[in-house]
Structure 1
């Protein structure tokens, strides 16, 4: 009964979304306030209906209702409760329902908190957002119905993919979708502004919080996925340039560019066309990511579905929204004339450079991701584009970005002098070069990644600190500290986020340059040495978990004769899914990770053991957490909560 109600609620939500798409849009065009007012209650009702539908599906997973095909294919009665719940979105159908739930949530939030928006703009934003909901509700109901019944329900299910039965993957998809789908609000604002023919400073102020929230969620989602890949897959890496990894990374890069571009619109009413285009492309790449994950076109360990028909449907959605928005963008070019002018040496120019670096780096990732498909379709060649290409093609742009950020923050708006503006940074640059040189001097035979990464990290961190110090002006230390504490939260957010980027670069450089790897056959009670550490395999036992069996090794670790830890790596096997997994044992601190993986028993006795000593790994996720914290701090700034300037005189709409 509950599942039927969930299905019915989804059908009703489609009807409400259609009304929300058409009625407010017509009302805004005709100036009918009563029609425009339909958007807000419709957005709320649509969200409540989809939330009820999602709750019904969750209930089916919790109660192991194997009359539903999706529950049978992705659950099992013996599965731990947390993974029964997360199994709701650990599959194609459920994840798409979560996707459209978040679309409706953002639309409802725009209705609830958009009181400062002009009525016509609010109505158009909610209509465009509802149109996205209509497209994906149709996709779900026509190709991916989570409430499809089985004629003969089985006694038990086929279990969830064991790789997804992990806390990291339990929370990774919701955060990622909040980021993916959050960019739909920036898209809706962009299209609504194009329809209305007005892009001004107030528009830039309204679109920034939505983009910032999406960027924060994407940062958290990508970091959780990276962390999961590091400890769960057993290969010891945090990023493999997998197509699905790239699918989330490309919108993140464009969202970062959009954030910086919207600042220029808000402060100087410049870069309007560029900002609108970035808003369209950022959501467009979210749709491309959805297509990659669900079409089966590109192979990935993270892919949800392998169905060309679904891929064609998503491709049609992408063509409709992207094509329509870009045509509208071309038609409305005259309405986006920049009012603010700026010199070559100015903060605006630095932000343009920043955006170009982010956009081009996104294009590099896109080419590397799609090139195997292009080569097979047009040249009949099977190619693999792996980490060597991405490392060589992508890294220079990130190095340039790291160099530009502190300089851009130091430059004034409109125009300035490069020498005078960057004088306070000269000491920071000299110290950063010294740190990079010191690292280069002490290492022997290692790559340049280590010294360059240390230099960039020091440059970004010291540049951020100097930027904050410059904002406090002159005077006694106590007065300057008081002014520092009273800085707007957006300024603190920017500083924390930029520092987080520097710390992430530090972690990536350390992990890439200074990892020690050892693969050997270990005998029980026979010590072996890796780097500065002595390992001893004490025993290997078979154990039984709630829904798996495992082989667990017990390995003692010591350094210079002093005991450090006992680690217990496992090899698990899930009988229902007939799938093995690797559970690495990791001893962590801020300097390094000891990473142990147990392999197969060997014919001559002993066990295969892989050992990694990974320098500075945890700084990667500390940096990601700081970037997300910086974005959150900016979101709490009063200037974002109160739409200051939202009631400026309206500009004359373009014909």
Structure 2
């Protein structure tokens, strides 16, 4: 009965979404307040209905209701409860329902918290959001219904993909979807503004918090996925330029560009057309990511589906929304005339450079991701685009971004003084260069990537701190320190976000440049060197888990004879899914991780072992966390809330 109610709620949600997508839009066009007023209750009702449907599916997974095909294919009675719940979105149908739920929740958030929005604009935003809901609810019900039944329910299920049975990946998809789907709000605001024919400073302020929220969630989701890949796959890396990784990274880059360009719209009423275009493209790339994950056209270790029919449906959605928005963008080009002018040396110019670097970097990643598909279709050849291409093509844009970021953040609006700004940054530049030179002098026989990464990372972090200090005035140190606590949260948030980026840049360079790797066959009781450490394989034994069987090693890590850590790497086999997984054993440290992976037993009686020293690995996750915290801090600044300042921004414009 509960699952039937969930199915019925999903059908009702589609009907409500149809009402939300049509009547308020028609009412805004005619100036009919009663029709426009339908947008808010429709958005709230759609969210309630989809939440009820999602709750029903979750209940089916928790109680192991094997009358549903999706539960049979992705659950098992012996699976731990965490992974029963995670199994709800650990598959195509359930994850798509989560996608639709988040979409509906964003619409409900506009209905509840968008009190400062003009009535017509709000009705149009909610109508566009409702139209996206119609498309995905139809896709869900017609091709990917999570409530499809089996004729004869089995006694047990086929279990969830073992790679997904991990805490990191249990939380990774929800955060990622909150970011993906959050960009639909920027898209809805962009389309609504184009329909209305007005893009102004108030619009820039309204769209910023939604874009910032999406960027925060994407940052957390990508970091969780990277962390999972680091410790779960056992490959000794944190990023592999996998198509699904790229599918989330491209919208993140475009969201970062949109976030910065909307600042120019708000402050100077410039870059209007570019910002609208970025809003369309950012959501378009989210849809492209959905297509990559669910169509099966590109193989990935964590793709959800391999169904051309579903892929065609998603392509139709992508074509309708992205193509339709671009046509509307072309038709409304005249309403996006820039008002503010600025000199070549100004913060506006720096933000334009920022946008160019981010968007071209996203395009490079896109080309590298789809080129194997294009080559196969057009040339009939199987082509692989791997890490060397992405590193060589992508890195220069990040170097350029890191170089201009501290300078651009301190330049004045409209017309800046480059010499004065650089003089203020001289101590930061000198210290960054000194750190890079020190690292280069200390390393032997390695590339310059590590020292350059340290120099750029330090330049970004120290530049952000210099920017913060410069905002406290020119009085005594005591007065300036007191003023630090009174600075707006947005200033602190920007410094944290930029500082987190600098830490991440350094950590990536350090892990790529200073990593120590050792692959060998080790006999029981044998000790071998690993950098400054010695590692001994003590024993290998069998362990039975709740739904798996594990071959577990016990390895002792020593330094100068003293025990540093005792680690237990594993190879697990999940009998129900008939799939093995590798569980790396990691000794986490502030400056380095010791990373051990147990392989197969060899004919000689020894065991294949891969060992790594990963320098500054935790700094990578720490940098991502600091970036996200900076975004959260900025989001709490009242100037960037949806309603804050909205009416002030719309002075002289009737609320209708």
Which range, TM-score by smaller chain?
Answer: over 0.9
Alpha-carbon contact 2:116-2:646 (below 8 Å) kept: no
Find the counterpart in structure 1 of residue 35 from structure 2: 35
1:605 Cα deviation after fit: 1.4
The 4+ residue runs of structure 1 with deviation greater than 4 A are: 650-653
Aligned equivalents of 1:621, 1:216: Cα separation in 2: 14
1:410 Cα deviation after fit: 1.2
Aligned equivalents of 1:526, 1:586: Cα separation in 2: 20
1:650 Cα deviation after fit: 4.8
Find the counterpart in structure 1 of residue 447 from structure 2: 447
Aligned equivalents of 1:291, 1:273: Cα separation in 2: 27
Find the counterpart in structure 2 of residue 241 from structure 1: 241
Greater mean alpha carbon deviation, residues 206-215 or residues 557-566:
557-566
Residue 539 of structure 1 pairs with residue 539 of structure 2: yes
Find the counterpart in structure 1 of residue 374 from structure 2: 374
Q: Aligned ranges for residues 567-582 of structure 1 at < 5 Å?
A: 567-582=567-582
Unmatched 5+ stretches in structure 2: none
Aligned equivalents of 1:580, 1:477: Cα separation in 2: 60
1:643 Cα deviation after fit: 2.1
**Aligned with 2:452: secondary structure?**
helix
Find the counterpart in structure 1 of residue 465 from structure 2: 465
Aligned equivalents of 2:652, 2:162: Cα separation in 1: 56
Aligned equivalents of 2:526, 2:382: Cα separation in 1: 46
1:435 Cα deviation after fit: 1.3
Find the counterpart in structure 2 of residue 100 from structure 1: 100
Aligned equivalents of 1:332, 1:356: Cα separation in 2: 23
Find the counterpart in structure 2 of residue 649 from structure 1: 651
**Aligned with 1:424: secondary structure?**
helix
**Aligned with 1:556: secondary structure?**
strand
Find the counterpart in structure 2 of residue 597 from structure 1: 597
Aligned equivalents of 2:91, 2:367: Cα separation in 1: 28
Aligned equivalents of 2:430, 2:35: Cα separation in 1: 62
Greater mean alpha carbon deviation, residues 49-58 or residues 632-641:
632-641
1:399 Cα deviation after fit: 0.4
**Aligned with 2:475: secondary structure?**
coil
Aligned equivalents of 2:517, 2:541: Cα separation in 1: 25
Alpha-carbon contact 1:523-1:537 (below 8 Å) kept: yes
Find the counterpart in structure 2 of residue 524 from structure 1: 524
Aligned equivalents of 1:634, 1:269: Cα separation in 2: 21
Aligned equivalents of 1:194, 1:167: Cα separation in 2: 42
Alpha-carbon contact 1:216-1:631 (below 8 Å) kept: yes
Q: Aligned ranges for residues 165-184 of structure 1 at < 5 Å?
A: 165-184=165-184
Alpha-carbon contact 1:410-1:422 (below 8 Å) kept: no
Q: Aligned ranges for residues 91-240 of structure 1 at < 5 Å?
A: 91-240=91-240
Alpha-carbon contact 2:271-2:338 (below 8 Å) kept: yes
Find the counterpart in structure 2 of residue 562 from structure 1: 562
Aligned equivalents of 1:76, 1:584: Cα separation in 2: 25
Q: Aligned-residue CA RMSD in angstroms?
A: 1.0
**Aligned with 2:156: secondary structure?**
coil
1:437-474 deviation digits (Å, cap 9, x = unpaired): 22112212211210110000110111011101100001
Q: 1:350–1:360: structure 2 CA closer, same or farther, 3 Å change rule?
A: same
**Aligned with 1:198: secondary structure?**
coil
Find the counterpart in structure 2 of residue 386 from structure 1: 386
**Aligned with 1:473: secondary structure?**
coil
Count matched residues. 653
Aligned equivalents of 2:37, 2:209: Cα separation in 1: 23
Alpha-carbon contact 1:103-1:133 (below 8 Å) kept: yes
Alpha-carbon contact 1:7-1:53 (below 8 Å) kept: yes
Aligned equivalents of 2:413, 2:104: Cα separation in 1: 38
1:617 Cα deviation after fit: 0.8
Alpha-carbon contact 1:411-1:422 (below 8 Å) kept: no
Aligned equivalents of 1:428, 1:294: Cα separation in 2: 46
Residue 64 of structure 1 pairs with residue 64 of structure 2: yes
Find the counterpart in structure 1 of residue 49 from structure 2: 49
Find the counterpart in structure 2 of residue 514 from structure 1: 514
Aligned equivalents of 2:343, 2:49: Cα separation in 1: 52
Aligned equivalents of 2:321, 2:537: Cα separation in 1: 58
Aligned equivalents of 2:50, 2:90: Cα separation in 1: 18
**Aligned with 1:553: secondary structure?**
strand
Find the counterpart in structure 2 of residue 281 from structure 1: 281
1:300 Cα deviation after fit: 0.5
Aligned equivalents of 1:195, 1:448: Cα separation in 2: 52
Aligned equivalents of 1:279, 1:135: Cα separation in 2: 19
1:524 Cα deviation after fit: 1.5
Alpha-carbon contact 2:117-2:646 (below 8 Å) kept: no
1:652 Cα deviation after fit: 10
Aligned equivalents of 1:524, 1:190: Cα separation in 2: 64
Aligned equivalents of 2:526, 2:24: Cα separation in 1: 75
Aligned equivalents of 2:427, 2:482: Cα separation in 1: 25
Find the counterpart in structure 2 of residue 553 from structure 1: 553
Alpha-carbon contact 1:204-1:263 (below 8 Å) kept: yes
Q: TM-score, normalized by length of structure 1? A: 0.99
Aligned equivalents of 2:284, 2:612: Cα separation in 1: 39
**Aligned with 2:148: secondary structure?**
coil
Aligned equivalents of 1:451, 1:87: Cα separation in 2: 43
1:328-351 deviation digits (Å, cap 9, x = unpaired): 000111101111110000000000
Aligned equivalents of 1:157, 1:164: Cα separation in 2: 16
Greater mean alpha carbon deviation, residues 428-437 or residues 350-359:
428-437
Q: Aligned ranges for residues 381-420 of structure 1 at < 5 Å?
A: 381-420=381-420
**Aligned with 1:463: secondary structure?**
helix
Aligned equivalents of 2:281, 2:525: Cα separation in 1: 58
**Aligned with 1:558: secondary structure?**
strand
Aligned equivalents of 2:94, 2:135: Cα separation in 1: 16
Alpha-carbon contact 1:571-1:582 (below 8 Å) kept: yes
Alpha-carbon contact 1:79-1:159 (below 8 Å) kept: yes
Find the counterpart in structure 2 of residue 22 from structure 1: 22
**Aligned with 1:646: secondary structure?**
helix
1:645 Cα deviation after fit: 4.6
Q: 1:597–1:591: structure 2 CA closer, same or farther, 3 Å change rule?
A: same
**Aligned with 1:422: secondary structure?**
helix
**Aligned with 1:219: secondary structure?**
helix
Aligned equivalents of 1:287, 1:268: Cα separation in 2: 31
Find the counterpart in structure 2 of residue 487 from structure 1: 487
1:566-599 deviation digits (Å, cap 9, x = unpaired): 0000000000000000000000111101000011
Alpha-carbon contact 1:198-1:651 (below 8 Å) kept: no
